[in-house]
Amino acid sequence: MRDSPLRILICEDDERLAALVAETLDADGRFVVVARATDGDEAVQLTKEHGPDVVLMDIGMPGRDGIDATHAIHEHDAAQHVVIYTGSDEYEDVARADAAGAAGFLHKEALTSPDLPGAILVLHRNYRAGVPDPE
């Protein structure tokens, strides 16, 4: 693992949830939240500006949703690590996220879990190592 913290962009329109995720990750010490996007267009722009290690993207963003934003991010940088999360249990959402180039998936409930930092680390390590996400 690298010595410097992983740089995270949180893409979430719910202020309270975004603040909780930022607090959890910042308190862990292995992460630094570099920015927060409140809609899909802002997610694309902030990814270009900050070049985070991980984009943590809600699938249900206002305007351009998380799927379209992920497509746009990968048009600019195909190697950008995007982890999509959703409250949905629909396989179609996971399939759409995969098709958009998301390299990791979390259920939205994981965002409030004390295990969130560990989950992000595992997803990022697997992404860097080229390990496919289990289906």
Domain chopping of the chain, boundaries: 6-129
Q: What are the contacts of 85-90 at 24+ separation with CB within 8 A?
A: 85/56, 85/57, 85/58, 85/59, 85/110, 85/111, 86/58, 86/59, 86/60, 87/60, 88/59
Tell me the pLDDT band of 118, cut-offs 50, 70 and 90: very high
- Kindly state the average pLDDT of the residues 1-30: 91
pLDDT at 76: 92
pTM as predicted: 0.90
* Domain 6-129, CATH among 3.40.50.2300, 3.20.20.70, 1.10.3720.10, 3.50.50.60: 3.40.50.2300
